[in-house]
Chains A and B, each alone.
Chain A
Amino acid sequence: MPSKDAEANSKKGTPPVRVEALSKSFGTQVVLKGISLEVGRGETVSVLGRSGTGKSVLLKLIIGLHKPDSGSIRVNGEEVTKLPLKELNEVRKKVGFLFQQAALYDSLTIKENVGFPLRRHSRMSDEESRKRVRELLASVGMEKDAHKLPGELSGGMQKRVGLARALALEPEIILFDEPTAGLDPITAAEIDDLILRLQKERHMTSVVVTHDIHSARAVSDRVALMRDGQVLIEGTFEDLQKSRDPFVMQFLDGS
């Protein structure tokens, strides 16, 4: 639909992430029921919701790890649901993903983990790539542990390294899957600060999936609260606080 795209472009540029009427089920379990979400350039949107409501699935759909049952997902204007693997991989190189448990490669050291995407996709020399890995690790405060294996690090440290790895190819968009889950409040706040600082420095577009409202409030420009596979309410955090919806009130007070 070129006319629609052209119109969108002329208004405010193609949104980096646009999800429309997306549905996904696993077997008989319906996870997403026609969810729609748009994230503007440089914007940070948090998707809030109870555990097990398909928030992580949404992120995996955006990067093409799952195929939706119906609906559209556009990343930088490209319809990822219909892209062949080769083109999908080109899109993936521009998107960083921080996994819930960091998902660092067990058999590789910290610096090899961070260097993995570089070694695969950039034309850097070994020396340049080593320098870049050092910089990335320094930016998340992990340069001292470069030689360790992931198993030797705490959960918070693994998240930092995961973040460094997600940033390796200088993505335009970054997806955070529960960046603060399983961390103590102080470490969680440190991770939030790190995300905020990186956003300021790099002006990235971010989608943060979380059930931690403190984290969502700290890092995001806009929040979307999910319920039953759909967005129940969307707006600034203040908009959410003004809502009289019993679920919204319960979610904000209960956590």
Chain B
Amino acid sequence: MTGTFAFILTMPYSEMQVDQTKTFSDIGNWLVEFFEWFGHLALFCGRLIRSAVTPPYEIREFVHQFDELGSKSLPLVALAGAATGIVLTLSTRDSLIRFGAKSFLPAVVIFSIIKESGPIITALVVSGRAAAGIGAELGAMKVTEQVDAMEASAVNPYKFLVATRVLACMLMLPLLTLVTDFFGILMGWVANRAAEPISLQLFIHAGFKNVTFNDFLPPTLKTIVFGLLIGVISCFQGMNARGGTQGVERAATNSVVLASLFIILADVLLVRLILVFFS
């Protein structure tokens, strides 16, 4: 099951050139495939929710997945956060100087990081790291019958493999976002320090002066939705993998592509909703 989105994204150029005779049936097939994909995803989510809410709960496995996800993503998000902070400071500084608003620099950098850059960068980095990992791992387990073996030994794979990973993604993303925010702000200050001698205390003070709870909490917590998307999409791709190593490769690639795409689309909606409810 490739999914229309992945199909469009991975399509070679030659196929994009429209063949008039095929167009209508192609559109028909696309639509069928598109709705079929969502149908399967909905069934998958239904099964996932049913498994997740009924006891027994797989607490040990959840802790293991939480730890695994956190420890493997932490260096990456810290690095991505640091780079974002530096880039943001350097480019914003230049613009602000032109407008004679240099004193706003700490506020602009900090607002930008906690409200948007931090959450989205974290989500995209984790979708690259964890979605590929989960898609490939579950895909490999599926094609080598390990998922069947688990089911045959009376363990629900949706509970043991899927629910634990989805929950780990959901709860880990806000924490990783805090890490990104921290390193972003810290390195933002360092980058600024290279140009003008301003203390960290002053930078933080100037930056956070007008920050309210509503500027910080909703954007950080929206990453729970990003985590949900990463977890659900990668587990869905993994659990539906078939056809040997190629199937595993497809599951991993599609997990990353679709998770990143859905994160960006969901962000549009979430930013709008946060503006409506929290400003």
Q: Interface residues, chain A, CB within 8 Å of chain B?
A: 60, 63, 65, 85, 89-90, 92-93, 95, 97, 99-101, 103-107, 116-117, 120-121, 165, 169
Contacts and interface: CB of A to CB of B under 8 A. Distances in A.
A103 B145 contact: yes
A105 B146 CA distance: 6
A93 to B, nearest CB: 5
Closest 5 CB pairs of A and B: A89-B154, A103-B149, A103-B145, A92-B154, A97-B152
A100 B145 contact: yes
Given A95-B152, A103-B144, 9 more contacts: A89-B154, A90-B154, A92-B153, A93-B154, A97-B152, A97-B153, A103-B145, A116-B153, A117-B153
Contacts of A85: 156
Contacts of A99: 145, 148-149, 152
A121 B153 CA distance: 9
Nearest to A90: B154
Nearest to B64: A107
Judged by DSSP, the binding face of B is: helix
Interface of B: 137, 140-141, 144-146, 148-156
B240 to A, nearest CB: 15
B145 A120 contact: no
A60 B148 contact: yes
B49 to A, nearest CB: 15
B148 A120 contact: no
Contacts of A65: 148, 151-152
Contacts of A117: 153-155
A104 B146 contact: yes
Given A103-B144, A106-B140, A106-B141, A97 B149 contact: yes
A150 B150 CA distance: 16
A111 to B, nearest CB: 16
25 contacts: A60-B148, A63-B152, A65-B148, A85-B156, A89-B154, A89-B156, A92-B152, A93-B154, A95-B152, A97-B149, A97-B153, A99-B145, A99-B148, A100-B145, A101-B144, A103-B144, A103-B145, A103-B149, A105-B146, A105-B150, A107-B137, A116-B155, A117-B154, A117-B155, A120-B155
Contacts of A92: 151-154
Contacts of B141: 105-106
Contacts of A93: 153-154
B147 to A, nearest CB: 9
A103 B154 contact: no
A41 B155 CA distance: 26
B146 A106 contact: yes
A94 B155 CA distance: 13
Nearest to B148: A65
B115 to A, nearest CB: 38
Contacts of B156: 85, 89
A123 to B, nearest CB: 13
A99 B145 CA distance: 8
Q: Which of B137, B151, B156 has the most CB of A within 10 A?
A: B151
A101 B141 CA distance: 12
Contacts of A105: 141, 146, 149-150
A105 B141 CA distance: 8
Nearest to B145: A103
Nearest to A88: B154
Contacts of A89: 154, 156
Nearest to A113: B149
Nearest to B150: A105
Nearest to A60: B148
A103 B153 contact: no
B270 to A, nearest CB: 34
B155 A103 contact: no
Contacts of B150: 105
Q: Which of B144, B146, B154 has the most CB of A within 10 A?
A: B154
B108 to A, nearest CB: 45
A93 B145 CA distance: 18
A242 to B, nearest CB: 36
B47 to A, nearest CB: 10
B50 to A, nearest CB: 9
B145 A101 contact: yes
A85 B137 CA distance: 25
